[in-house]
Amino acid sequence: MEPTRLSDLIHYQAANFPLQRAFGHRVDGEWKYYSTQEVIELGNKVSRGLLKLGVKKGDRIGVAVTQNRPEWTILDVGIQQIGAINVPVYATITTEDYAYIFNDSEAKYCFVGGGDLYEKVKAAQAQVPSLKEIYSFDKKEGQPYWETIFAEDGQAEVDALQAQIKPEELATIIYTSGTTGVPKGVMLSHNNIISNIMAGKGAFPFVAGDTVLSFLPVCHIYERVVIYLYTLFGVSVAFTGTDNLGGEQGDLMAVKPHFFTTVPRLLEKVYERIYNKGLDLTGLKKKLFFWALKLTEDYHYEFKPKGWKAIQWKIADKLIFSKWRAALGGNLKGITTGAAACPRRIAQVFSAAGIPIREGYGLTETSPVITLNLFEPGGALLGSVGPVIDQVEVLIDESDGIFRPGEGEILAYGPNVMMGYYNKPEATAAVMKTINGKTWFCTGDVGKMVDGPGGRKYLQITDRKKELLKTSGGKYVAPTPIESRFRENFLIEQMMVIGEQRKFVSALIVPAEPALKDWCDENQVEWTTFPEMLHHPKVLGKFQSIVDDINPSFSHIDQIKKFRLLDKVWEPVKSDGTEAELTPTMKLKRRVILEKYKAEIEDIYAE
């Protein structure tokens, strides 16, 4: 039987694809794996232990880890089997955020692992009356160790509770990252998530027995659902962190994965490193590198070079692209990216080099996938987020009347749409809209459907509705496509378009420091310090030329008229206690950036 509840997935793997290396991670430098059966046995110990702590069906259990690890999966199995509710939280949020989330969800227990997480949650506990105890996945003095809850007896009660769990019941509460204010708890049922997993069964290139690498935070719905998908397929999962990926001794080389998921920012960083290595080459090697890179500009997903072109591609592949693949482990069948807009050029370059990139789209509220570019022939379109997945419907709502014809807010309908926001019925009602007898979820994103390969319709995201700028002349501007296009340039690390109620559109730009150093060396510009270089006439002239080159890609209203270069990289975590400029999934917190750079923005428009 196919799984209908999250607690079924590991048992489905045991019955169909039992693995000796189901989930693993590095412990003291050595890889340690748990078999499918060990995950089930430990999950049962957790279930029995939670029951002995007095946890009942429907009780909320918090969990946070600094880096993905098998204990997260084992705990999730243990929670789901007794009908308790998993409340995953990011490791990067503040003590105040923990207090808010655990108070809102009325969490009874919390499990943590890595860094200072125990101390942060412990500090929040004084403000959370419901939170009885915090357990650590790591053995540390003064921190209750999670294995102390393990219990050997009581399995009959666990089995009875598991048998009673219905697919339509609440499985998890996931708190949004708060780009638009206070985090909201998204309630997802077993069926919400399982329907999404089943709809994506044929969309990925991995098969039973393959190995995948997992490094995106598993508390995020995107990575979490992919972990469930790996479990369903019988794929071996190696957990790691983004800091441990690269280099000769990195986990990409150690694991040599067949597949992984990522966010665009990490792909951009890999591309920047590749590009900068190309700049460091000399003579014929350098010419070959940039010749091969130039070839990729013709690439699209249905591209099949012929004749002399095919010979050129074979040469480029042997001399250049094969080295890129080797640097990512050499076995990759594909990568999917989501959570933020992926620059078209990034997907194009990697895919052309034999590292297929496919972008998808969705939200926590949709469990998460709405559309996904496929790996099969005729199933993907560059510059889109793919066709709508099975069982889901999309409606482009043009009723606001502020968009171009055929463009509007993206509405979603299907079994993947959330149960609602926890404790927030008014907020839930605000994102639901009834049209033609169906209640649709309003994504807040703006897009359009376009024709593409395979006779399919593909979704293109043009912006977020709440992020649209309205100039003082009453014209609407969509920042995201502009920012995405500019970030394709190797000299630009980050960018945010500004212009709300202003006469024209401008930008805050954070240059990529290593790439800028290389450019200065090549152009005989003496380097002093990063902040000083951002005022150098030649550097300013170079960025003006980038703006001048890209501006014609957009309408006159959308073009960048002025910009300021900034010397501080925007981050998802701030060590100085100030609010971070990025969410944990690397989205811009525009409100925060506008406040932090108020003086620079006023200076732009004062001229």
pLDDT for the residue 279: 82
How is residue 233 written in tokens?
């397929």
**Helices and strands: H and E segment counts in the chain:** 21, 25
CA nearest to 55, candidates 75, 83, 89: 83
Q: Which of helix, strand or coil describes residue 552?
A: helix
pLDDT tens-digit profile of 233-292? 999 999 998 888 877 778 999 999 999 999 888 888 888 888 888 888 889 999 999 999
Task: Walk across the sheet containing 185-189 and list its strands.
Answer: 133-136, 109-113, 60-65, 85-88, 170-175, 185-189, 420-421
In a 10 Å sphere around its CB, with 0-12 CB exposed, 13-18 middle and 19+ buried, how is residue 310 labelled?
A: exposed
Separation CA 459–CA 505 (nearest Å): 26
Following DSSP, what letter does each residue of 51-119 receive, concatenated? HHTT--TT-EEEEEESS--HHHHHHHHHHHHTT-EEEE--TTS-HHHHHHHHHHHT-SEEEEESTTHHH
Greatest extent of the chain over all pairs of C-alpha atoms, in Å? 75
Instruction: Give backbone dihedrals phi and psi of 604, rounded to 5 degrees, phi first.
Output: -60, -50
Question: CA 186, CA 171: separation in Å to the nearest integer?
Answer: 11
Domains for the chain: give ranges and CATH numbers: 6-165+200-261 (3.40.50.12780), 262-466 (2.30.38.10), 469-606 (3.30.300.30)
For the chain, residues with pLDDT lower than 50 are: none
